[in-house]
Amino acid sequence: MNNVCNFCGNKNFRENHVQYIYRHDDQFLVVNSVPCEECEYCGEQYFKAEVLKKIEKEFREIYYSGKRAKREVKVPVEEFVEI
C-alpha cells in the first residue's frame, strides 16, 4: 500500500489487524480486527479505502437504519477542566 511512512520515513511495514474507532459527530463505532498496514518503526496505521468505506456503511446501518450491533458498551465521558 505505502512505500514510505508519511510520519517517520520508514520503508518497512507489516500486515496487522487492529481496533478502529469510527466517529461521526458524537457517535462512535468500535470495529475489531480491521486489516491495515502498520509501520514497523513508529506504528502508524494505513487502511485501504474499501475497508474504511465498509466501516462507514456499517456505521450508517447501525445509527440510521436500526441494525443491531454485535455488542454495545457504556463509556463514561468527562470534561478535562472539571477533573
Q: How far is residue 44's CA from residue 13's CA, in Å, rounded to a whole number?
A: 9
Give, as one character, the DSSP assignment of residue 8.
T
User: Residues of 12-41 as b/e, b for ≥16 C-beta within 10 angstroms?
Assistant: ebeeeeeebeeeeeeeebebeebebbbbee
- For 34-81, the pLDDT digits (tens) are 999 999 999 999 999 999 999 999 999 999 999 999 999 998 999 999
| Whether this model's pTM surpasses 0.75 | yes
What is the structure's pLDDT at 14?
97
Q: Stretch 16-37: mean pLDDT, rounded?
A: 97
Structural domains in the chain, sorted by start: 1-67 (3.10.20.860)
Say if residue 2's pLDDT is above 80.
no
Question: 22 in helix, strand or coil?
Answer: strand
